[in-house]
Structure formats: structure tokens, C-alpha cells
Amino acid sequence: MTSPAKKLTPMMQQYLEVKSKLPPNTLLLFRLGDFYEMFDDDARVGADVLGITLTQRNGQPMAGIPYHAADGYIQKTLKAGMKVAICEQMETPKPGQLVKRSLSRILTPGTTLEDQHLDAGRNQYLLACNWTKRGLSAAWLDLTTGDFQIAASPAINGLINVFHALDPREIILPEEALEKWRAEDDTAEWSEEIERLLQGRTDSTMMPWQFDPRDGARLVMETLGVMNLDGFGIALDHPGLGPAGALLAYAAENLCSKPENIRRIREYRSSDTLQMDPSTLRNLEIFRASQGTRKGSLIEAMDATTTAPGARLLEQVLMEPPLDIAELKRRQSCVGEFLSAPGLASELQEYLRGVRDLPRIVGRLRNGLRNPREPGAIRQTLHQLPHIKAVIEQFDSPELTKLAADLNLFPELLELLDSALNDSLPNQIQDGGFIADGFDAELDRLRDLNRNSRQWIADFEAAEIKRTGIKSLKVKFNNAFGYFIEVRKSNLELVPDDYIRKQTVTNAERFYTPDLKEKEREILHADEKAIAREESLFADILAAVLENADSLEQTAHCLSEIDLFVGWAQIAREWNYSRPEIDESSATEIEGGRHPVVEQMMREQRQKGIPGEHDFVPNDTFLSADEAQISIITGPNMAGKSTYIRQVALITLMAQVGSWVPAAQCRIGLVDRIFSRVGASDELSQGNSTFMVEMNETANILNNATDRSLIILDEIGRGTSTYDGLSIAWAVVEHLHGHGAQGPRTLFATHYHELTQIEGELVRTRNYCVAVKEWNDQIIFVRQVQRGAADRSYGIQVARLAGLPDTVINRAKVILSRLEDDDSSHNILRKRMRARKDGTPEKDIPQLELF
């Protein structure tokens, strides 16, 4: 026989009602006085994730965190990929009454706005995507800044590159979409790509109808406050409006109100930007090094920004390198101006250190997250603007003149903030004390009342003693009865008629007067009234700030550009970078190029006293789609082939974001895509071996490269047998060369020395090798790339450097000698190479029919 259900208290009924409306994987923090409490399963999960004590009351699991320390616990929960719902008390608790509570926010990794939960230097994208018969549609939103974009592609993989570059914190999909896509042949590939993207990220689902483009268009227009989207160049039937509507609905659900900081929407067009697929982003270590950290990545090597918006702008320009030569030259010119005036650039950086994160501050204020430190941070920034503008105006370039013109100074707003706010500001409005003395007469009166209450009581007591003649009269206070006048019973005959009896005690009577009662009410409520008055004044201050919100955001963008360009100038000065020439040609010409990351790491090692090479050896590069299209690069392991081909790709990317580059001279013909197949890795969880991953990445390159692409390939075909691998590598080079007049600029590093024979077969192919010197059976790496082919791999010498036992090294030499003497087709290729190098007549060179 089951026991009767336990009767729920009104408070628990309230809790369960709120909990029932929350999405899965959401912890509910329920405000009870000075604590946020969790119950039942939430308590168990919360205790485990947060490392707090799990308790019980009447058999019910409970776990709580202090209200004032909640931010740290919330941040920990979000990092664990979970969501947090906040249920707040909406009124002051009263004895015997249930406190009104309501859901105030749902915090998720992609929708949190609180500064302490964010990475200041990274964008915080929330991504929604869908696949229908019309193709792939997507939208992404950084709710902290209002950056809002939509995109569409008829191809399954048309936008997956962009998604990886965005590195979204949270992804929204239609409910059960993955299962549906996985089951259908034409979308199975798309589901695999999405599943890869979801790894390590928070995902959420919404109903499929919420991705409808018509409903999305309506919601987008409603959010932007417009009648149509013509002003944004977006048609009302754009497929991306479906995911955009889902994003806005999800944001409104979590904010518990409509997002108020979204002012514009733009369409992302892949044809406007240089594209890089996920493997290229990974292989070139654009945003993260191979260890998964920012240190050792290109973005770290290019980051000398001072402000958080500047760091985020760097991330954005690397995500979307423009194909607009005019824009690239504008950026280069700004960098050049700051490079030419190091004193002014240094002065700018000093002022920029006082600039705060205006885009995110304005975003929080627009969405109702308000605390006194936000306008304080705006005030601090506004104080820097006249200095920054004055420095910028000292430059003559039209690009910087335009930036200076777009910097608003907001003198009236600054005057208001200076006069209204104290120097030291609390984190919570409820704490009070943030409005400056002298700003508001009524607030000053309330504060004076509170500060001077003791003096008023002392003066009142003295006046009453003089008026009544009762020298033992005392004005006292206690929590139960408030203020009162105490008169000993022996002096009761002297009590005036206007005294009103309040209480009788053993040896005295207690009285009050109307004046004392009124003063008591004022004193006891002065603090409360002062805070209420401050809140009212604060609302007026915020209204003044929000009236300037659009201009503040425009000014913030100017500041972030200045920060980025000054930082690039600092790097160019420190590392001797040059301004690249960008044009519409199909050529890549680099004189004295260096790898930006490796060069910096080598200096760092030298400064730390770590032994090894400390000076980077520069190298030249020439590629062109119609002349020297393919460079076959041979040389031993560790000689620098991979570093060399990577540096060419990185220099190209740096040039196409507008930065100066690590080279003596550089000319880059715009490339539409950079492809990279580098290194060995597997995807065992997807059932893909190292060789399969290599072939997948190679297939992607061959199927998508154009004549304007740049391709770097390292060791194609090394994951299978020698003959298979050589055959594939040879065929890949032939395919890239093609039968037309031009093809994608390609750097192909390989240990298959046989491939150097292609130079005689394909007219746009050139052989290069990384030079080494031999001495006493040892090799010395010169790191110099030169014309011609390497005659062997020096693998045994490299093995000796790695520390293999001498017995192994000596035995390997014997085996190598025997293998080189055989007459297999593989070795005939090698013998042909050596014979030609030695000047053997062509009739005496061993022949091999390859075609």
C-alpha cells in the first residue's frame, strides 16, 4: 500500500510551477532571503557541478548558494554547458505571507550578458541553422553587442566553414532535426558536419515551426521596429529569416523580454570574404594552437590591442577577411600612419587603456541589466575621448580624418555623469550611495536627515529639557517602540499637555510628541527613501545614456578600429613588417617572408634562455596561377618545409585582413579561398583513420578550389603504401595543374622525391628544396628554400638526431642500401633523378612508363 502523497507547502508549489516551465538541463536558482536554493534533482546536480554541500530537510534534497556570491557559481554552471534560471523575490517579505516570486532571467552560454560571465576579448555568438529543400539557412547573433547576421546556401557544406570560424557558444536546431537528417541520404552528410560542430558546445532545440521564414521575417521586423527589410537589403522571403526568428524567440525567452539592443541585421555573403574550411583553420592554427590554447595561434601573434572591443574586432576580421581592395588599403594606410608616428601611437594606447567596453555596456543597459558601475564606465571612457580625438586630428590622412570625425565627444552626457555620480560606485542599485552629494536637493535632505539624526535628537532633547524644566528628561530609542521621551515618575507633574503617553515602565513613563513622531518616521524611512530617490535619479541618468546609445556604439566602433590599427602598427614596428601590395593579379610574390608565430616564439625562447635556434631564416616565394602555379618542395624532416608553406598561407591571410606582414616585400593577388592539408590526425569517433581524414580533406580541396585559391599541401598519400601514396600524390598534382592556362596557386611539400619528375611534364610546376649541409654523417639544417629538388630524405640522419640507438641506425643504412639497389618501378624513378643530376646522357637513364 503506497503512502499518501506528501502535501506541498505554498512555497514549494510556487517553486514547482516555475520549474515546470523551464527547458531541460536548466538549474533553477530560487531566491529565499539571502540565498538561492535548489531542490530535488537540481540540488543533486548543482551540488555536484558547483562543489557545494547537499543537505536535506524533511527528506527533501536541498543545496544553496549565497545571493551575494551567485555570479561565481553561475559562471561555473555555464562553463559546464548548463543553463541557469533565476527566480527572484518581487516584494519585501512579510510575516505570514507568501512572497511573490517570478522568473527574471534564464542564463545560457549563448545569451548571458553579465560581464563576469563573458570572455572580454571574444565574441559571444548564438547560432541557429536549418536544412530544408531550399538548402541551408542560418543566423547568428552576439546578444552582448547586437551583431546580427543571416545567411543561406543551396549546398550542404556552404556555410560550415563560417560556423567553425564563428566558434559559437551555443547552437539552436529544430527539435528532432538531427535524427531526421541522419536518416535521409541527402542530408546525412550535413548531420555529420553539425554533429562535429556540436562537440563541446551547448545545444538547444526549438519547435520546427519556429524556423518558418515568414514568421521569422515578422519577428525580425518587430524587433528592429521597421515595416520592411528593404533598408537592410534583405528580401522578406530570405531563408535565413527562419533561423533569425528562432534566435530572437530564444533570446526573448531567456531574457524574459524582447531583446532591445538589436538595431540592424545584415546578410552574410561568402562571395565577399576569403573562405577557409575547418581543417584549414585548425592546420594553420588561426584561432587556437594545436594544443587547443590561444597561445601559439595567429590571433595571439596579431593581438596588440588594449581594449576588449579591439580584441573582438581582430577576431571578426580574421573570421571575415574582405575581398574589397579599397577596404584593405584603408586599413593598411591607418596602420602606416600609426607606424610612422610612434610617439603619437604610444600616447593613443595610453588613453585607450582608460576605455571601457561600450558595446557590451550599452547592450546590458538596453536589455534592462543595470548597475551603477555601467554609467561609471561610460563616464571613464568619455573622459578619454577628447584626448584620443586630439591625437588623431594630428594626422593628415583622409582615413584617420574620417575616424576622428566619427568620434563623438558627448559633452552634455559627460557633464551629467560627472555631476551625478560619485567617484566610487557600488555594484548594486540597492546598495545606494552612488549619486553624488549636491546633485539633487531632495536626496541631500534625506541623506542629511539620516546623517544628522543623532544631532537632531540631541538638539530636541536639550530644547525639551529647557521647555519643561525636567533635567533628567531623556530621548531614547529601541526597535520595539522607536523614539520616545522618558520622564521619571517623580517629574510627571512637569510633563506638558502636548506629550502623548506611549508606555509605562517601572520608574518612568514614556511619551512622544507629534514632532518627534514625524521625525521618527522621517529618520526610519530616510534610508529607504534615499535609495528610492537614487533609483529614480538613476533611471533618468540611464535614459540620458540610452538617448545617446546609437552614437555611443558608433564611437565604440571607431575606438576599436583605432585600437586594432595602433596594435598592428606596434607589431609591425617591433617585428619589422612591411606593407603588402594587394591587387587583382593571380600572383603571390614574397621577399624575405617569415612565419609570424614561429618568429615570435623563437625570440621568446631566446629571452628565457632556452637552447636552440633563435633567429628565423627568411625565404622568398613566387607563385602565379598562369606561370609558376605549383611548387613541389622536397627536403628532410625538420628542415622547415611545413613552416615554410604555412608562413606563405599566413602572410596571405594577414595581407587580406589589412595588416602589414612579416616580409621584406610582398605582393598578393587576391585569393578567394585558402586550403590547407597539413599533418596527420584521425577521427576515430567518426570511424575515420588518419588516411581517410587526409583523403577527405584532399577531396574537399580538389572539389572546391578555384583558379584564385591558395593551396598548401603537406605529405599527401603518406598514410598508405608507398606505391599507392605516390600514385595519389602524383595524380593530385596533375589534377591541380589541369589542362587549362591557369590553376590554383599551390605549395606541395613532400617526401616523395619522385614527384619532382613532374616539373618536366607539367609546364606550371617548379621544384624547390630546403637546403641542408652534411658533415661527418650529420646534417645541419640551413632553413633556406632554394630552386631544385632534394636528392634524398636524410631520414636516417634525422632518426639519429631523435636519439635512436646506433644499432638501429647502422642496420637501417644496410637495409636502405639494399632497397636502393633493386629495380622496382619506385627505385627506377629515384635512379632517373640521380642520373639526370649526375649528367648521365638521356639514352642511358632508366625508363619508366607512367602514362
CA distance 481 to 693: 81
- Judged by DSSP in three states, 87 sits in strand
Q: Which residues pair with 746 in a beta bridge?
A: 630, 711
pLDDT band at 810 (very low <50, low <70, confident <90, very high): low
Cell numbers that stand for 280 in this block: 584549414
Residue 422 clears pLDDT 60, i.e. is over it: yes
CA distance 49 to 52: 8
Q: Which residue has the cell 567553425?
A: 164
pLDDT band at 415 (very low <50, low <70, confident <90, very high): very high
What is the full DSSP assignment across 173-197?
EETTHHHHHHHSHHHHHHHHHHHHH
Of 366-375, 535-544, 711-720, which gets the smallest average pLDDT? 711-720
Q: Rounded to a whole number, what is the largest CA-CA distance in the chain?
A: 142
pLDDT score for 287: 94
Spell out the residues 6+ positions from residue 732 whose beta carbon is closer than 8 angstroms to its own.
Answer: 698, 702, 713, 716, 717
pLDDT digits (tens, 9 = 90+) for 427-456: 888 778 899 999 999 999 888 877 778 788
Amino acid sitting at position 506: T
Better-predicted residue by pLDDT, 848 or 277: 277
CA distance 497 to 149: 78
Of 137-151, 168-182, 633-647, 717-731, which gets the smallest average pLDDT? 717-731
Spell out the residues 6+ positions from residue 309 whose beta carbon is closer than 8 angstroms to its own.
Answer: 357, 358, 359, 556, 557, 559, 560, 563
The closest alpha carbon to 732, from 752, 494, 721, belongs to 752
Would the annotation count 637 as a binding residue?
A: yes
Of 263-277, 640-654, 773-787, which gets the smallest average pLDDT? 773-787
pLDDT band at 850 (very low <50, low <70, confident <90, very high): very low
pLDDT band at 687 (very low <50, low <70, confident <90, very high): very low
**Degrees to nearest 5, angle at CA 767 with 764 and 773:** 165
CA distance 446 to 183: 70
pLDDT band at 825 (very low <50, low <70, confident <90, very high): very low
Cell numbers that stand for 850 in this block: 607512367
Length of the chain: 851
Q: Contact, 808 vs 799, CB < 8 A? A: yes
Residue 266 clears pLDDT 90, i.e. is over it: yes
pLDDT score for 4: 46
Q: Contact, 174 vs 206, CB < 8 A? A: yes
Better-predicted residue by pLDDT, 825 or 704: 704
Instruction: Average the pLDDT over 312-329 and give the result.
Output: 96
CA distance 54 to 39: 10
Residue 405 clears pLDDT 90, i.e. is over it: yes
Check residue 493 and report its DSSP letter. Answer: G
Residue 528 clears pLDDT 90, i.e. is over it: no
Spell out the residues 6+ positions from residue 517 whose beta carbon is closer than 8 angstroms to its own.
Answer: 483
pLDDT score for 682: 40
Half-sphere exposure of 393 (CA within 13 A, CB side): 9
CA distance 649 to 747: 9
Q: Contact, 559 vs 307, CB < 8 A? A: yes
Would the annotation count 738 as a binding residue?
A: no
CB crowding 227-256: b at 16 or more within 10 Å, else e: eebeeeebeeebbbbbbbbbbbbbbebbbe
User: Cα torsion for 148, 154, 157, 159, to the nearest 10°?
Assistant: -20
Q: Which residues pair with 63 in a beta bridge?
A: 38
The domains of the chain, with CATH numbers, are: 10-107 (3.40.1170.10), 120-272 (3.30.420.110), 303-410+548-575 (1.10.1420.10), 441-538 (1.10.1420.10), 581-800 (3.40.50.300), 804-851 (no CATH)
Residue 5 clears pLDDT 60, i.e. is over it: no
Residue 131 clears pLDDT 90, i.e. is over it: no
Spell out the residues 6+ positions from residue 417 whose beta carbon is closer than 8 angstroms to its own.
Answer: 375, 376, 378, 379, 382, 541
Instruction: Average the pLDDT over 1-28 and give the result.
Output: 78
pLDDT score for 743: 94
Half-sphere exposure of 248 (CA within 13 A, CB side): 31
Question: Could you write out the three-class secondary structure of 529-556?
Answer: HHHHHHHHHHHHHHHHHHHCHHHHHHHH
Would the annotation count 638 as a binding residue?
A: yes
Would the annotation count 245 as a binding residue?
A: no
Would the annotation count 580 as a binding residue?
A: no
Would the annotation count 539 as a binding residue?
A: no
Could you tell me the strand order of the sheet in which 147-153 lies?
202-206, 170-174, 125-132, 135-142, 147-153, 266-267
If phi > 0 it is left, if psi is from -120 to 50 it is alpha, else beta; for residue 585 that is beta
Q: What is the mean pLDDT of the chain?
A: 86
CA distance 347 to 289: 32
CA distance 213 to 786: 56
Better-predicted residue by pLDDT, 821 or 14: 14
pLDDT band at 181 (very low <50, low <70, confident <90, very high): confident
Of 3-12, 89-98, 136-145, 375-384, which gets the smallest average pLDDT? 3-12
For the chain, give percent helix, strand, coil, nearest 5: 50, 20, 35
pLDDT score for 3: 41
pLDDT digits (tens, 9 = 90+) for 239-261: 999 999 999 999 999 998 999 99
CA distance 733 to 765: 9
Could you tell me the strand order of the sheet in which 500-504 lies?
474-478, 482-488, 508-512, 500-504
Cell numbers that stand for 756 in this block: 619532382
CA distance 810 to 815: 9
CA distance 25 to 79: 13
Q: Contact, 302 vs 596, CB < 8 A? A: yes
Q: Contact, 130 vs 243, CB < 8 A? A: yes
Instruction: Average the pLDDT over 486-509 and give the result.
Output: 91
Chain CA centroid to CA 499, Å: 69
Of 88-102, 135-149, 539-553, 703-717, which gets the smallest average pLDDT? 88-102
Cell numbers that stand for 223 in this block: 524587433
pLDDT score for 834: 55
pLDDT score for 379: 97
Check residue 303 and report its DSSP letter. Answer: -
Give, for 213, the enclosing helix (H) or strand (E): helix 213-224
**Degrees to nearest 5, angle at CA 682 with 678 and 683:** 125
pLDDT score for 703: 87
Would the annotation count 727 as a binding residue?
A: no
CA distance 668 to 685: 40
Spell out the residues 6+ positions from residue 775 whose beta carbon is closer than 8 angstroms to its own.
Answer: none
CB crowding 372-391: b at 16 or more within 10 Å, else e: bbbbbbbbebbebbeebbeb
Better-predicted residue by pLDDT, 627 or 828: 627
Residue 839 clears pLDDT 60, i.e. is over it: no
Would the annotation count 225 as a binding residue?
A: no
Residue 796 clears pLDDT 70, i.e. is over it: no
Cell numbers that stand for 598 in this block: 614561429
Half-sphere exposure of 492 (CA within 13 A, CB side): 11
Cell numbers that stand for 251 in this block: 533570446
Could you tell me the strand order of the sheet in which 26-32 lies?
55-57, 60-66, 35-39, 26-32, 83-89, 101-107
The closest alpha carbon to 334, from 559, 555, 564, 554, belongs to 564
Cell numbers that stand for 158 in this block: 556552404
pLDDT score for 506: 83
H helix intervals, 270-353: 278-283, 298-301, 308-319, 325-340, 342-352
Instruction: Average the pLDDT over 209-228 and give the result.
Output: 94
Question: Could you write out the three-class secondary structure of 142-170?
Answer: ECCCCEEEEEEECCCCCCHHHHHHHCCCE
Residue 354 clears pLDDT 90, i.e. is over it: yes
The neighbour count for residue 569, using CB atoms within 10 Å, is 26
Instruction: Average the pLDDT over 41-45 and give the result.
Output: 90
Q: Which residue has the cell 548594486?
A: 428
What is the full DSSP assignment across 659-682?
--BSSSEEEEE--SEEEEE-S---
Residue 686 clears pLDDT 80, i.e. is over it: no
For residue 392, CA distances in Å to 358, 454, 507, 574, 782 come to 20, 55, 80, 22, 45
